[in-house]
Amino acid sequence: MGTAHPVDGPGIETAARQVEVERRTFLDAVLAFGFVSTAIAVLYPVSRYLVPPASGEPATASVVAGRAGQLAANAALLFKFGSKPGLLVRTPEGELRAFNAVCTHLDCTVQYKADTSQIWCACHNGMYDLGGNVVSGPPPRPLERFDVRLRGEPGNEEIIVTRT
């Protein structure tokens, strides 16, 4: 068993060996604890990673802007498209249209005016028609238009807005 110890008597040797065994068991326990902890530290994140996150998929060129039932005719709602606002409009005839809600003048967020069925920017009174074209005011360019599609059961479809 390796190096020899000077032996004074059988009692001390047994005691020494007992301490030795305790230390070894302690070390083994620590090691086992360490292995298990690191294993958990690896396996726990991996198991959580595998669970699909709530937001489903990366929102890239398209986003769900709302549900078909949410929007009446001659009304609009603002939705989030990435980090920019978008405007979803249902025309008086019932058609769905979507625009980039950032005004082309000085980047204010536009809104819908139901009384004139036009898109209006409150900052400097810019007016756009339902095609996104500038009707009056300072905006230099028309509003960017997005594609609108419906998906799902009729009556309660999801409205998918895609960058063209």
CB of 73 to other proteins, least distance (A): 27
Nearer to other proteins, 24 or 73 (CB): 24
Nearer to other proteins, 42 or 73 (CB): 42
- Tracing tokens 């070894």 back to the chain, one arrives at 24
CB of 163 to other proteins, least distance (A): 10
Nearer to other proteins, 82 or 131 (CB): 82
| Residue ranges in contact with other proteins by CB under 8 A | 1-2, 24, 27-28, 30-31, 34-35, 37-38, 41, 45-46, 48-51, 53-55, 57-61, 80, 82-85, 102, 106-109, 122-125, 137-138, 140
Contact 119, 102 (CB under 8 A): no
- Joined tokens for residue 53: 């996150």
Give the span between the Cα atoms of 59 and 124, in whole angstroms: 32
CB of 62 to other proteins, least distance (A): 10
First CA to last CA across the chain, in angstroms?
79
Nearer to other proteins, 68 or 123 (CB): 123
Contact 59, 79 (CB under 8 A): no
- Joined tokens for residue 88: 């979803």
Strands of the sheet with 126-128, listed across from one edge:
111-113, 118-121, 126-128, 134-136
Nearer to other proteins, 129 or 157 (CB): 129
CB of 91 to other proteins, least distance (A): 25
CB of 80 to other proteins, least distance (A): 5
Maximum distance among all alpha carbons in the chain? 108
